[in-house]
């Protein structure tokens, strides 16, 4: 049996820490994108943003980015 890497799914973390993405959005990876870095680059081409959060990255789709409340 042979296994092949299928790639990485990056899904939206929602407009804020307490709210899930209402659309359950995920980045549409291009055919050659296999790493998280490559898929995030694909998402940026589609209007996604990536923000640093304590200990991880937050990926936000264009819809949630428009509804994101500024940090206080």
Characterize the bridge pairing of strands 49-53 and 56-60: antiparallel
Cα–Cα dist 23/33, whole Å:
23
Q: Is residue 15 part of a domain?
A: yes
Distance of CA 24 to the CA centre of its chain: 11
What pTM was estimated for this model as a whole? Answer: 0.73
**Domain span including residue 25:** 1-64
Q: Is residue 22 part of a domain?
A: yes
Specify the number of domains making up the chain. 1
Q: Which helix (H) or strand (E) holds 62?
A: helix 62-66
Q: Is residue 70 part of a domain?
A: no
Q: Is residue 72 part of a domain?
A: no
Q: Is residue 52 part of a domain?
A: yes
Q: Is residue 69 part of a domain?
A: no
Q: List the chain pLDDT tens, one digit each, 72 residues.
A: 666 566 678 899 998 888 899 998 998 878 888 888 888 999 999 999 988 878 888 899 999 988 765 554
Q: Is residue 48 part of a domain?
A: yes
């Amino acid at each position: 049996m042979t296994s092949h890497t299928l790639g990485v799914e990056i899904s939206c973390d929602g407009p804020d820490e307490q709210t899930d993405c209402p659309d359950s959005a995920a980045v549409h990876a291009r055919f050659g994108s296999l790493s998280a870095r490559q898929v995030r680059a694909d998402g940026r081409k589609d209007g996604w943003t990536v923000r640093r959060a304590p200990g991880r990255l937050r990926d936000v789709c264009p819809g949630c980015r428009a509804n994101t409340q500024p940090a206080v």
